[in-house]
């Protein structure tokens, strides 16, 4: 898909129910996968992973522990079923993703009453 938005921009500007195209990388935690659900953490492409810093010995570069303001640059992505509920399956094997993969996602923004935002995936394209 053309003209994907960065995760940071989506978090700052997207509205509940808005259809978007996003680009980001799998990561943002030591274990970016949500156990028992088809969901994962997705980080803005502007953030630098530890393995991209010369001589950084970090064993889990996908956690972006060296990145400032990670909360403003990370969103949870869920793969919903036909009723909109999260699928109870591992997203890593279901989608064939790995930590630090760059992915373009099309989907819908979902915000709860507290302003927490989730991206409901409809399609994913691994770059």
| DSSP 8-class letter at 17 | T
Helices (H), 14-126: 91-95
Using 50, 70 and 90 to split pLDDT, how confident is the model at 123? very high
Tell me: the pLDDT tens digits for 3-58?
A: 999 999 999 999 999 999 999 999 999 999 999 999 999 999 999 998 898 888 88
Nearest CA-CA partner of 85 in 59, 125, 118, 124: 118
pLDDT at 63 over 90: yes
Residue 30 makes CB contacts below 8 A (sequence gap 6+) with 60, 63
Give the DSSP H/E element, type plus range, for residue 105.
strand 102-111
pTM of this structure: 0.93
Tell me: the pLDDT tens digits for 65-109?
A: 888 889 899 999 999 999 988 899 999 999 999 999 999 999 999
In the prediction, which pLDDT does 67 show? 83
- Quick one: how far is CA 5 from the chain centroid? 12
- Residue 58 exposed, middle or buried by CB count within 10 Å (0-12, 13-18, 19+): middle
């Amino acid at each position: 898909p053309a003209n994907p938005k960065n995760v940071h921009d989506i978090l700052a500007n997207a509205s509940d129910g808005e259809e978007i195209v996003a680009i980001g990388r799998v990561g943002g935690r030591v274990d970016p996968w949500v156990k028992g659900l088809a969901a994962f953490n997705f980080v803005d492409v502007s953030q630098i992973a530890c393995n991209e810093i010369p001589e950084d010995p970090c064993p889990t570069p996908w956690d972006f522990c060296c990145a400032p303001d990670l909360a403003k640059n990370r969103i949870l992505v869920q793969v919903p079923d036909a009723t909109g509920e999260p699928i109870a399956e591992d997203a890593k094997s279901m989608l064939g993703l790995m930590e630090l993969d760059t992915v373009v996602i099309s989907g819908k923004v979902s915000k709860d009453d507290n302003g927490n935002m989730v991206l409901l995936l409809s399609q994913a394209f691994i770059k």
